[in-house]
Amino acid sequence: MRGLPPRPGDRVLTDPNPLRDVRDRRLPDIPGPCSLVIFGVTGDLATKKLMPAVYDLANRGLLPPGFALVGFARRDWADQDFAQIVHDAVKLHARTEFREEVWQTLSEGIRFVAGDFGDASAFDRLAQVVTDLDRVRGTRGNHAFYLSIPPRFFGDVVQQLKRSGLSATDSGSWRRVVVEKPFGHDLASARVLNRQLDEVFEPSSIFRIDHYLGKETVQNLLALRFANTMFEPIWNANYVDHVQITMAEDIGIGSRAGYYDGIGAARDVMQNHLMQLLALCAMEEPLSFQSRDVRIEKEKVLAGICLPKDLHRHTANGQYAAGWQGGEYVGGYLDEEGIPPDSTTDTFAAVRLEIDTRRWAGVPFYLRTGKRLARRVTELAVMFKRAPHLPFAATDTAELGQNALVVRIQPDEGVTMRFGSKIPGTEMEVRDVNMDFAYGDAFTESSPEAYERLLLDVLRGDPPLFPRHEEVELAWMVLDPVLAAWAEDGRPEQYSAGGWGPSCAAEMIARDGRVWRRP
């Protein structure tokens, strides 16, 4: 993360202030020689995100010369077959242009190991492959194992890594494991998963991916709050009325029935992405952006979350029904292929939370997410209290709403400030206007994909953007009671595809005298 102290090998400039570390920004911060071993290379994530991100990093000159990519899956492939799969994935999904010379160099380090997650001989073969890579590609014993596989296999794979000696390091080398959510389906299962990982890897070698933390706009929340003077003084209960965090998707579950059914919106994205956004929005200033300091502050927020007493009135869930979306009539969740007709899985989730700290006392945080909503948008909106006194005639301010600061996380990345302004003319009439910062206008560089950033951080051993197991467990402590309340309610309310979710969500926020934003 920017602002981190230099690592061994960084070129350091002398700074007059000895307490401030300075890295020469003209030099790219490239990891040392290493390999990335991906389990589950036939999955969607590997094809659409991981392999393209590896190529994009190579194309940006951010991978070391001694780099290798190893695939592990139950396929009867040779190295060249896997290289072809990577090639096709890169051509289809990479962010940066395809350059033959970059691809040639990358493909020389591509290997494949065929096997099952429980098959000891396959892991022995993998051990042999990485040893060969150390010799041939100079990867020097540094290997990251990316488990892009269902969590029920985590235990088997890490045990096999241990048995085959793949998790063991010798002097100066490293071994890391990268895991993808869901980190369990409740607190108890998350604890089991964490124990399985802890038995084999040191906490500092475990990287839990929350790809929202790799998004530029999410990281910018930290810059916005802690690099400026004008926001922080009003970032508290004295000025903030409430906060709305929305992650709306227009897509349905596509071909992910097997993953999604029984998981649902709250477990899929609220437990991780939305809780992390909440933590970054609400936390105190960390001592530094080192992993430990950021984690301490995020954990304080998560530990301070209070759920409403009546969960049935202050949370809402729903499931999409058929409807019109973007000019197309789309089926409902129960019509999706692979979904049982009596599924009670929620595809929409909303909760009202408070944070029991001096800064946030009495300020509700409303979190909502859903599939098949009106449009794809993720934003964090800080809604301010009204001015304590308005020296205008009531009619003059009839069109004045609440001041708002909206961090537009995607797709239209930027920040909007909404405030009242006089309408030109002879009368004193005030109406809401927007002041916009758009990434596309302000910067010429396009933002890297979240996975580029996160993979690079794994290989560099840079952990601030990865949640620790304490955070994961605290987030489950918040969600477990909500999920239990929904299980009692039975079938979630159906909402039409293409709208803004079930009516119970609108009623939930209306009980507090507020409305959801229509981004």
Q: Is-catalytic flag, 273?
A: yes
Least separation, in Å, of the C-beta of 475 and ligand BG6? Answer: 14
Q: Dig out the tokens for 7 from the structure.
A: 């690592």
Closer residue to ligand BG6, CB minimum distance, 233 or 411: 411
Closer residue to ligand BG6, CB minimum distance, 107 or 325: 325
Closer residue to ligand BG6, CB minimum distance, 56 or 268: 268
Residue owning tokens 């794979």: 157
State the DSSP code for 271. I
Least separation, in Å, of the C-beta of 119 and ligand BG6? Answer: 28
Tell me which H or E stretch contains 38. Answer: strand 34-39
Chain residues that interact with ligand BG6, rule: CB under 6 A: 249, 268-269, 378
Count of beta carbons in the 10 Å neighbourhood of residue 47:
19
Longest CA pairwise span in the chain (Å): 84
Nearest-angstrom CA–CA distance, 237 and 363:
6
Least separation, in Å, of the C-beta of 325 and ligand BG6? Answer: 15
Torsional class of 425: left (φ above 0), alpha (ψ -120 to 50), beta (otherwise) = left
Q: Dig out the tokens for 178 from the structure.
A: 């990268």
Nearest-angstrom CA–CA distance, 366 and 512:
11
Nearest-angstrom CA–CA distance, 362 and 368:
19
Least separation, in Å, of the C-beta of 374 and ligand BG6? Answer: 16
Tell me which H or E stretch contains 456. Answer: helix 450-460
> Which of these, 266, 501, 514, 260, lies nearest to 386 by C-alpha position?
514
Least separation, in Å, of the C-beta of 378 and ligand BG6? Answer: 6
SS3 102: helix
Helix then strand count (H, E) for the chain reads 17, 18
Least separation, in Å, of the C-beta of 148 and ligand BG6? Answer: 12
Nearest-angstrom CA–CA distance, 62 and 29:
7
Closer residue to ligand BG6, CB minimum distance, 373 or 382: 373
Closer residue to ligand BG6, CB minimum distance, 263 or 283: 263
Closer residue to ligand BG6, CB minimum distance, 276 or 378: 378
Among residues 143, 185, 273, 469, the one annotated as catalytic is 273
> Which of these, 231, 233, 209, lies nearest to 220 by C-alpha position?
231
Q: Dig out the tokens for 357 from the structure.
A: 């700290």
Position closest to ligand BG6 via CB: 268
Q: Which residues contact 513 (CB under 8 A, 6 or more apart)?
A: none
- The catalytic site residues sit at 273
